[in-house]
Amino acid sequence: MAISEPASLRGGPQISNRVNSTTLDKRLTNIYDYYSGGGFSSIMLKQCLDIISFIFTLTLISFGIFRVDWLSIIRCTISDSCTGKLLRHDFPLILIILAVPFVPICLGYLGFLLVRAARTYKWGRWVRALFVQLCIDEDYLANTPWPVIADRLIHSSFLDRTSMTRGGEERVVPLTMAEITARLCRTDNFLIGLVNNNVVPLPRPSFIALFHKVTRHRKNPRHRAPAGYAAAPADGDDLTGVDGMLDSGSLDQPLTPDDSAAPGVAEDLSVGSLPPIEPLPIALPSILASSMSEPTQLPVDSVYGVTSLFSTRPNVYFTQVGETALRLAFLNKMMITRNIGTGYPANIIPPSFRNDPVSARRIVVTRFRLYGLIALPLTPFIFVYALIFSVLGHGSEFYANPATLGTGRWSRYALLRFRRYNELPHNFARRVRESYQHADDYVNQFRNPVADQLVHFVIYVLSGALVFLLFVTLVDDSLATSVTVLNRNLLWYTGVLSVAVIGLRSLVATTGSTTDPVTALNKVAECTGFMPPQWVGEEHTKHVLKQFRRLYSTQIQVLLDELQGIIVLPYTLLVVMPRAADSIVEWVAYHEEVIEAPPIGGVYQPRNYDQGGKSMI
């Protein structure tokens, strides 16, 4: 049997030391990472493989940059042997200059991986000992639901906290299921709230947005929006009212039409079951209003992305590296995590956000610019490493099936729009996996018969040429390497034609793919919980498909966006994010749903926290 009765309930041995309230978030995160990682052996193996993968990638990059003579290889022809020209025998000055920052950066990141592995080993042993006390078998951890683990933690009383009453007596505060979920999702809830309320700026950099603006103006010069206003919809795009709904956040409404119609689990799993907290005032104080009068904010359309999702300009830009930078620069340091030397309880929003917003804004801007300055010299190396890592990671998939780069994938912005508040990552990942098949089915409803006929014709021609080359190879295999066309042998053309034919076949509509777009999109909405009212009844139209494709793009496009996000990361942290510091401070300090909920601390508690009573744990 995988799980038996807890030792604490049977009078068996218990772990005597209780977790300090200031480290409760960290301990719960360690327990959840241990659970989602598959146990001690799995998480330690992952740490070791990460170190080995980095060393392998670093060796490959070093060999390719410092040892291989690429100019000689490019000058080589098929008739001229490249023996002796592959390796570099001299090192130009530019390579020596490049090696000066390259070596310490790589050694520093390697040291970071080693320290992370050591820390993982330390807390992994602690969690493993805790699971032994709770009689949880690690071999069956993958098949054990998380609520079972959380229930054991609650009944074990090991994570209970002690607090002082007004009379000076020590009181034990038991842990609840709602508190576990709220603590685990605290930072993620704030991130979702920042994005869904259009507080975080999501524009593309100025030079990229300018390129899109120029190209769009050439296509339709009469659609020129004045400064500070949303761009006019293109022909055929009936987007009336959608931008305003994005601003108000009504696009994130769950599928359940009546929130009160889903009773039961909401009272047990939402933070609303905690002691009631009086909402904070929404009125903007005069001191913050005076600081916002400075000319530091851009127009709403270019900073807050109010019209980003469904505007005709592709200005929504939120990548994985941007999210990581936002977490490091702001979210992870937004609340007081330790009460040592501060005089305030742990995990609360600093009082300076409400008492002195000007100083809070200055701190936020300083942190963004500090991380921007750190990212500035690291950007080239991060870009090269990410490029090589992406090529190695997706190279085998592309070799096995070249059509994988054209498969659909949700953008990072779409994932944040889809995720529900108080939803644990493993539940969200399951919903996303279920949505991919339905999203592909919806996209496949819109086929162009003219393009399909042309693709069929090209496939027929290329397949004929490929069959001819294979026949020549069967007759005499030496011809594949001896016969050359345009300085390339027949073997090279055989490989190129094979990849081209496989890739083009992925573009052809499969049999029976044209069904019902309404059913396909509704299935996507059931998995993602995202269904704008403007899409209802218009599922078969091209403008809904256009809006859908901005959320569900190809895998190669997502990879290119991630690489582009690395390039513009310093610009985002140094220029874009500081301009939105006023709005970020105002939202955190005075939004009615950003509250202090004892004993958890600062949390973001939207009205539909449990998404219609659905269990998020």
Q: What is the pLDDT of residues 402-441, one digit of tens each?
A: 666 667 889 888 998 899 888 899 999 999 999 998 898 8
Task: Note the pLDDT of residue 168.
Answer: 57
**b/e string for 315-337 if b means 16 or more Cβ within 10 A?**
bbbbbebbbebbbebbbeebbbb
In contact, 297 and 579? CB cutoff 8 Å: yes
Question: Which residues, 6+ apart, have CB-to-CB distance to 570 below 8 Å?
Answer: 372, 373, 375, 376, 379
Residue 400 exposed, middle or buried by CB count within 10 Å (0-12, 13-18, 19+): exposed
* Interior angle at CA 288, CA 282 and CA 289, nearest 5: 90
Cα dist. 379→75, 289, 375, 388, 521 in Å?
A: 30, 36, 6, 14, 39
Task: Note the pLDDT of residue 125.
Answer: 92
Task: Note the pLDDT of residue 609.
Answer: 52
Residues 305 and 307: their CA atoms lie apart, in Å, by 5
488-489 vs 484-485, strand pairing mode: antiparallel
Comparing CA positions, the residue from 339, 344, 364, 341 lying closest to residue 353 is: 364
In contact, 523 and 502? CB cutoff 8 Å: no
**93 residue type, one letter:** L
Place of tokens 């539940």: 427
Residue 418 exposed, middle or buried by CB count within 10 Å (0-12, 13-18, 19+): buried
pTM, two decimals, is: 0.71
Indicate the helix (H) or strand (E) that contains 204. none
Residues 35 and 133: their CA atoms lie apart, in Å, by 15
Task: Note the pLDDT of residue 406.
Answer: 67
- Low-confidence residues of the chain: pLDDT under 70: 1-22, 74-85, 160-173, 203-316, 335-352, 395-406, 507-515, 592, 596-602, 605-617
Task: Note the pLDDT of residue 402.
Answer: 61
Cα dist. 322→325, 326, 369 in Å?
A: 5, 6, 14
Residues 277 and 187: their CA atoms lie apart, in Å, by 20
Cα dist. 214→160, 239, 379, 434 in Å?
A: 60, 22, 27, 39
- For the segment 454-494, what is each residue's pLDDT rounded down to a tens digit? 888 888 898 888 888 888 888 777 777 777 777 778 888 88
Residues 591 and 606: their CA atoms lie apart, in Å, by 10
Residues 136 and 556: their CA atoms lie apart, in Å, by 42
Place of tokens 């496009």: 557
Residues 504 and 509: their CA atoms lie apart, in Å, by 11
In contact, 312 and 213? CB cutoff 8 Å: no
